[in-house]
């Protein structure tokens, strides 16, 4: 079983880290010398991706080198990171070690006894920009981070690093620091790696990784090495010449186990838990519809019964299905009632859902749908109900409204790079905003016939979006909170929604087989971020474009870790679509 786990999981991970300060304007921030040197190093034969694990407080990208291909089953991954102590010397040491390991000259067997990843300069405003600020003047981050995350006012770089490390599943982490003399320190899981090493400092990355509980993962062995730059480089080179033990860390074992779960297993887990708040909204509706599908696939009625019990107060009139304040996000909850009507031939559910569809239709010639926000959200909220109404009734009014809505929004919001901005008032490629666009296009293509007049335009918009999204996929398979800013956090709902849309597109022939690998990588990212209890990692909180929403507004939206109805609904949808793609029935 362990060998199978190793084959499924990407490389064993060893993380080497060096420290730095916090920090210009986002898109305008220079890449910096560290990113340039990493790019030069990665031109070697191994194949790596040069990107970012996050952003400093001033918007400088934190450069990272990540493997661009899976590791061998017996190959440990060594991740080298610098800049937690504000030391430019530490960052330079990491770069020197990387350059030596990835150069074409060393024998292949020497290079490949480990797989390297690296963040040479975490606090990039200090160690990359050469601010000259003394480390003691600004202090250092403590681990594990708490009280805020990617939107934290101080040391948000540490939050990005912590998430990146834990979701990578390292088998060994080495933090590099500058110091007066060479010294090794170790956490409790790494004491045998360097005999005679002292205990890791409390609050350090190494110490925290010894008992990491982020996302319900176990710990990972971690070392610190500190000293003068030349001594540190020599020590690391010597250390890496010795065969690194390929014993998986508890953290890696946990992630491997998550990736071995079948899609339908995850769908069942989520259907039993979500929604926790059965309100009339698109969020519970996705879970209710998903639960109906799970029961049909498994023959287990408990999921259907739970969903119907939560829907019954709206069917009976005990709770108003259409109530003020009127919003498309609430009215979109009726999609599940259309699905109940179809799955169980329930005329009461169908009548309630059609009432909502009629309520959504525009009442003036220039009004496509009522209660529109002009955000990409509308593409899904209205289409999810109107496309089902068109399918069930054959009434052309619903299909015509969907056609006008999707083509108008695509013309206004879909960019030359093929992804969508959230709104004219929020002209940024918000992650879940692109998920809403994908779901709206997907729902129309699913429920409306081949003869639908707008199908060619909608299909082309869907294909363009899917192509644009695959170009923005992170190395670990996820997508970013702001899709086209690789320094933003790797967000859960956009990842699940993109996987769901691509999987359905593949299954129904809307996109070609070249998307198979994209879906596989994306699905692994979803699996990694769904805990054994059905909790989730990094779900962007509710987000509206508002008036003149700035880029920082999207960058700094809080990330939820734990139970979340929205994330659970998206993950269940992704699980069911991947199951349908992989297990044709």
Taking Cα atoms as reference points, which of 162, 73, 148 lies closest to residue 115?
Answer: 73
Please state the rounded mean pLDDT for residues 148-166.
91
Phi then psi dihedrals of residue 332, to 5 deg: -65, -15
| C-alpha distances in Å from residue 540, one per residue of 63, 156, 319, 557 | 23, 16, 29, 6
Asked whether residue 108 falls in the same domain as residue 147, the answer is yes
The beta-strand segments (E) located in 440-558 are 479-480, 490-491, 536-540
SS (HEC) of 454-480: CHHHHHHHHHHHHHHHHCCCCCCCCEE
Asked whether residue 239 falls in the same domain as residue 337, the answer is no
pLDDT recorded at residue 110: 62
Point out the domain boundary residue: 214, 239, 259: 259
Binning pLDDT at 50, 70 and 90, where does residue 17 land? low
pLDDT recorded at residue 136: 47
Note whether residue 189 is domain-resident.
Answer: no
pTM: 0.94
pLDDT-above-70 percentage for the chain: 89
197-232: pLDDT as tens digits: 999 999 999 999 998 665 678 999 999 999 999 999
As a whole number of angstroms, the distance between CA 126 and CA 96 comes to: 19
Prior bond of 228 cis (ω within 30°): no
Asked whether residue 75 falls in the same domain as residue 116, the answer is yes
Q: What is the mean pLDDT of the chain?
A: 89
Asked whether residue 353 falls in the same domain as residue 449, the answer is yes
Residue 577 DSSP class? H
51-70: pLDDT as tens digits: 899 999 888 899 998 877 66
Domain that holds residue 514: 263-582
Note whether residue 66 is domain-resident.
Answer: yes
pLDDT recorded at residue 108: 62
Note whether residue 190 is domain-resident.
Answer: no
Strands 170-178 and 77-81: parallel
418-475: pLDDT as tens digits: 999 999 999 999 999 999 999 999 999 999 999 999 999 999 999 999 999 999 999 9
Binning pLDDT at 50, 70 and 90, where does residue 397 land? very high
Note whether residue 188 is domain-resident.
Answer: no
Asked whether residue 231 falls in the same domain as residue 322, the answer is no
Binning pLDDT at 50, 70 and 90, where does residue 130 land? low
Asked whether residue 305 falls in the same domain as residue 247, the answer is no
Asked whether residue 151 falls in the same domain as residue 276, the answer is no
Note whether residue 423 is domain-resident.
Answer: yes
CATH number of the domain to which 435 belongs: 1.50.10.10
Note whether residue 430 is domain-resident.
Answer: yes
Count the domains in the chain: 2
Asked whether residue 239 falls in the same domain as residue 276, the answer is no
Asked whether residue 46 falls in the same domain as residue 116, the answer is yes
Asked whether residue 168 falls in the same domain as residue 156, the answer is yes
Asked whether residue 271 falls in the same domain as residue 245, the answer is no
The answer to whether residue 20 scores a pLDDT higher than 70 is no
Query: In this structure, are residues 8 and 260 in contact, taking their beta carbons and an 8 Å threshold?
Result: yes
Asked whether residue 416 falls in the same domain as residue 555, the answer is yes
pLDDT-above-90 percentage for the chain: 72
The answer to whether residue 10 scores a pLDDT higher than 50 is no
Point out the domain boundary residue: 259, 287, 302: 259
| C-alpha distances in Å from residue 418, one per residue of 461, 466, 519 | 8, 8, 18
CATH number of the domain to which 147 belongs: 3.40.630
Note whether residue 192 is domain-resident.
Answer: no
């Amino acid at each position: 079983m362990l060998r199978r786990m190793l084959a499924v999981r990407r490389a064993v991970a060893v993380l080497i880290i060096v420290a730095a300060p916090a920090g210009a304007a986002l898109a305008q921030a220079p890449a910096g010398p560290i990113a340039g040197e990493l790019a030069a190093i990665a031109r070697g034969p191994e194949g790596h991706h040069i990107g970012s694990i996050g952003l400093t407080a001033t918007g400088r990208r934190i450069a990272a080198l990540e493997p661009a291909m899976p590791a061998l089953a017996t190959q440990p991954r060594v991740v080298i990171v610098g800049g937690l102590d504000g030391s430019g010397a530490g960052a330079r040491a990491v770069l020197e070690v990387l350059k030596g390991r990835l150069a074409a000259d060393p024998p292949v067997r020497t290079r490949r006894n480990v797989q390297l990843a690296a963040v040479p300069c975490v606090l990039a405003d200090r160690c990359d920009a050469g601010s000259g600020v003394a480390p003691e003047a600004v202090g250092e981050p403590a681990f594990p981070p708490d009280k805020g995350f990617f939107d934290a006012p101080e040391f948000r770089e540490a939050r990005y690093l912590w998430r990146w490390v834990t979701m990578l599943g390292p088998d060994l982490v080495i933090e590099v620091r500058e110091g007066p003399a060479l010294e090794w320190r170790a956490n409790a899981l790494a004491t045998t790696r360097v005999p005679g090493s002292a205990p890791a400092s409390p609050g350090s990355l190494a110490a925290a990784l010894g008992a990491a509980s982020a996302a319900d993962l176990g710990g990972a062995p971690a070392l610190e090495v500190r000293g003068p730059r030349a001594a540190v480089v020599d020590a690391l080179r010597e250390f890496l010449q010795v065969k690194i033990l390929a014993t998986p860390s508890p953290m890696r074992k946990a992630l491997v186990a998550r990736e071995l779960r079948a899609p339908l297993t995850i769908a069942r887990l989520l259907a039993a838990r979500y929604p926790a708040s059965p309100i009339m909204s698109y969020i519970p509706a996705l879970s209710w519809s998903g639960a109906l599908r799970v029961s049909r696939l498994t023959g287990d009625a408990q999921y259907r019964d739970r969903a119907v019990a939560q829907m019954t107060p709206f069917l009976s009139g005990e709770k108003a299905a259409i109530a003020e304040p009127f919003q498309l996000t609430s009215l979109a909850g009726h999609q599940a009632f259309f699905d109940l009507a179809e799955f169980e031939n329930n005329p009461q559910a169908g009548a309630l859902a059609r009432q909502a569809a009629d309520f959504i239709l525009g009442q003036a010639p220039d009004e496509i749908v009522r209660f529109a926000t002009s955000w990409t959200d509308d593409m899904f909220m209205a289409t999810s109900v109107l496309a089902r109404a068109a399918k069930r009734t054959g009434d052309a009014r619903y299909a015509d409204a969907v056609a006008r809505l999707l083509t108008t929004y695509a013309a206004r919001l879909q960019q030359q790079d093929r992804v969508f901005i959230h709104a004219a008032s929020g002209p940024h490629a918000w992650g879940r905003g692109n998920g809403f666009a994908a779901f709206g296009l997907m729902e129309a293509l699913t429920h409306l016939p081949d003869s639908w007049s707008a199908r060619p335009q909608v299909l082309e918009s869907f294909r363009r979006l899917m192509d644009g999204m695959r170009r923005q996929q992170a190395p670990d398979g996820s997508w970013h909170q702001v899709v086209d800013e690789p320094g933003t956090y790797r967000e859960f709902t956009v990842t699940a929604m993109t996987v769901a849309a691509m999987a359905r597109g593949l299954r129904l022939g809307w996109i070609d087989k070249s998307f198979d690998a994209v879906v596989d990588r994306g699905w692994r990212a979803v699996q990694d971020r769904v805990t054994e209890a059905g909790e989730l990692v990094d779900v962007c909180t509710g987000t509206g474009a508002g008036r003149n929403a700035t880029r920082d507004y999207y960058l700094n939206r809080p990330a939820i870790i734990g139970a979340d109805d929205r994330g659970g609904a998206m993950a269940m949808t992704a699980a069911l679509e991947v199951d349908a793609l992989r297990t044709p029935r």
